[in-house]
Amino acid sequence: MGKVTLSLVLADRREEGRPLAVRTTPDGSYEFKQVPPGRYRLFASRNGYARQAYGQKPGSDSDLRNATPLDVRSGETLDKIDLSLIRGGAIEGRVLDQDGEPAAESQ
């Protein structure tokens, strides 16, 4: 899937630095170049989809504590790091009582 923004964030919040970011190609591939050695967490986002963290368990929030850390060493290449995005959704409608009137509270 193309048009996904991937962000590589330092795992230790005390360290300064901006996240590294790239966009996927139309076939969904991506590459971060010249990543300094360190411990990172990877996040993916795209309009219409829920933000996803690498290693995130289903049903959990996509924040730092739920992302699996990636250790990057000097000169090392990490590959086959895949994420699956979940399409976002919404429920819309009205709740009516037995007489067809808007319900004030759920019963």
Taking only the tens place, the pLDDT of each residue in 62-86 is: 666 778 999 999 988 898 898 888 8
Going from N- to C-terminal start, the domains of the chain cover: 5-87
Hunting for tokens 């995005």 — which residue is that?
A: 85
End-to-end CA distance of the chain: 42
Q: What is the pTM of this model?
A: 0.73
Tens of pLDDT, residue by residue over 86-101, are 888 878 888 888 888 8
Question: What is the CATH code for 5-87?
Answer: 2.60.40
pLDDT of amino acid 54: 92
pLDDT in tens, 18-40: 889 999 999 999 999 989 999 99
How far is residue 18 CA from its own chain's centroid? 17
Give dist(CA 56, CA 42) in Å, integer. 10
